[in-house]
Amino acid sequence: MIALALALHSQVAAVLSYAFDNSVEPFMDPVLDICRALLRRAADAGAAGDGGAAAEGAAVLVDAAPVFVEAAAAPELALARVAFECVALLRQLYGAVRR
């Protein structure tokens, strides 16, 4: 199950990176919605004490954090809001990075 979750999250992260790097606007909204759903699922599972596969799969999306941050500054409010929610969910799941 964990391998399947990692594969799904990896594919979503690849589509997100492709859409962002190549300015493929029609892909951005749907793929950000999918990222948000995956991160919410991991957060909900973690809150219920059953984080396992969901949290491990969502960890793949940590590498997409720069894309989420850039998209959060987008002029389209709906896109920016979803991207910001992804950043907030990553923060909730994985905490602050300490230097």
- What are the residue ranges spanned by the domains of the chain? 2-94
Task: Please give the share of the chain, as a percent, with pLDDT higher than 70.
Answer: 82
Q: For 66-86, how does the pLDDT look when each residue is reduced to its tens digit (9 = 90+)?
A: 999 999 999 999 999 999 999
DSSP letter string, 20-36: HHTT-HHHHHHHHHHHH
Asked if residues 60 and 42 have their Cβ atoms less than 8 Å apart, the reply is no
CA–CA gap between residue 97 and residue 80 (Å, rounded):
23
Mean per-residue pLDDT for 57-72?
A: 91
Q: Is the pLDDT of residue 97 over 60?
A: no
d(CA 21, CA 83): 15
